[in-house]
Structure 1
Amino acid sequence: MVPVTAQRRRASPQARQEVTQALGSIRQQQRDARAYAEVWYQALRAWETSETDRVKVHYGPAKASTMRVVGIGNYSTSGTGQGGSFWAGVEMVHLPNGLHRSNLVGSMCSADPLLSEIHRGAGIASLLHHSGQGGWAYPRDRAQAYATAVLDLAVALGDKQARVHAQALAFAQSARTISVESQD
């Protein structure tokens, strides 16, 4: 029997090129996810609102009660209100995937500590590194946590692109680093 020794195999140039292209694609997905999270982050920080067309709200007389009131005094069990209507505007917040009711988005933000900070105008100025060369702002873990929170909100608000970017971000966080070493 011939002893087997560990030997490093060199990948063929074609295999190295395929790996490099695949990693480049993954890196591009991660850059796109960072950029998309930044767009949502800045939209939430800006909190630009507008009022929709006014809607007519109708209210009517109270319905007759089926409850029997027992006690001292006179109680009315039938509706005696006049009813009527009024015009009301609905405040909408501008987000990357369209207009959403600001009270709904505000309550969703209030339910998450990081989103609540953004909604209050606190938090970091940007998720992206200030140099513009890519990467996360300092502290990196905090920027990634904000990105995850805003992309989760975007998914909850029906943004289909955000789902793809949230998956790329989750992959990047679990993989932590991706590197390619040349074996030439």
Structure 2
Amino acid sequence: MTLLLPPTSEVPVPKFNMADLTARLLAPGKPQEAQQQSSPALNPPDAPEAHEEVRERRRAYQRPAGHPSRQERAQARALAQQYRDYAEAWYQALRAWDMREVKIPYSFHYEPGESDLDFLTLGSNVRTPTRYLQTPAGEFTEGEVGVVITTMSRAPLVEQMQLGKMLDKLRHTPDTTPVSLLREDGRWHQNRERVARYAVAVLTLAVQLRDEGAEGPLRYAKAVLAGAH
């Protein structure tokens, strides 16, 4: 008796890839299901929908283990753009050093009935100005931002000290710093290493000021700087 097999052109047979097969077998789910996906030729399709399913399985099968999908790459690009935009926002805030001044009444506190403390109330109605720096994470007093920059510029670690000096330059002589970290299309400036270093500087300051939203962008900027060397 002669067995009739379906034409091989109807069933595309994927190339064997041990790494991908191992990843599929170790992935959560039914081992039998993974085994069937790795051998579509054992289950020849008999309908157009089955042909499309086989093609989808083949595309998934041929992607190397650990290689991101098209959707994952798109998500990574979008996240990287968000991180660059956040670094740029902090950079421009420090470069412009936009301050808001608030005058707050200042007075001494004392317990009623205490003697010889009348002099403490002198000048209690004087309004003392407090200056606030506008940042992507909200307002910070000029004093606390300045203290962090000074501490960084005097740090014993050379790398931290250099970042502090860059921030000091950004604050006092902005004309000597890049106008922007990014190009018009949102990607890094052509001098990638320099702007990535400034991004690390401003985001390090942001983290020092307890801006949790700067932690992800800082890790990304450090990775960019490491790759730019």
Q: What one-letter code is carried by the residue in structure 1 that aligns with 2:178?
A: I
Distance 2:149 2:16 in 1: 52
- Alignment equivalent of 2:73, drawn from 23, 29, 43: 23
Q: TM-score, normalised by structure 1?
A: 0.68
**Aligned match for 2:60, one of 8, 11, 14:** 14
Report the equivalent of 1:145: 197
Alignment of 1:82 with 2:119, yes or no, is yes
Which residue in the other structure is 2:137 paired with?
97
What does residue 154 of structure 1 align with? Answer: 206
CA RMSD between the two structures: 3.0
Contact 2:85 2:186 in 1 (8 A): no
Mark the CA change 1:144 to 1:18 in structure 2 (over 3 Å): closer, same or farther.
closer
The farther-off stretch of 38-47 and 15-24 is 15-24
Aligned residue in 1 for 2:167: 115
1:136 deviation in Å? 1.4
CA–CA distance in 2 between the matches of 1:99 and 1:80?
A: 36
Distance 2:119 2:68 in 1: 75
- Per-residue CA distance 1:36-90 (angstroms, 9 max, x = gap): 1000100111111112241314388xxxxxxxxxxxxxxxxxx999332332121
Aligned to 2:180: 126
How far the C-alpha of 1:102 sits from its partner, in A, is: 0.6
Q: SS at the partner of 1:90?
A: strand
Contact 2:132 2:141 in 1 (8 A): yes
Which amino acid is the alignment partner of residue 14 of structure 1?
A: A
| 1:93 CA drift (Å) | 0.9
Asked which structure has the greater CA Rg, the reply is 2
- Paired residues, number: 150
Structure 2 unaligned residues grouped into runs of 5+: 1-14, 21-57, 111-115, 154-163
Q: Provide the C-alpha distance between the structure 1 equivalents of 2:185 and 2:82, rounded to a whole number of angstroms.
A: 13
**Residues 82 and 157 from structure 1, CA distance in 2 versus in 1: closer, same or farther, beyond 3 angstroms?**
same
Q: Which amino acid aligns with 2:181?
A: L
Partners of 2:139 and 2:130 in 1: CA distance: 11
1:133, CA displacement in angstroms?
2.3
Larger RCO: Structure 1 or Structure 2 (Cα < 8 Å, ≥ 6 residues apart)?
1
Gaps of 5+ in 1: 1-6, 61-78, 178-184
If the length of structure 2 is used for normalisation, what is the TM-score? 0.56
- The whole-number CA distance in structure 1 between the counterparts of 2:148 and 2:100 is 19
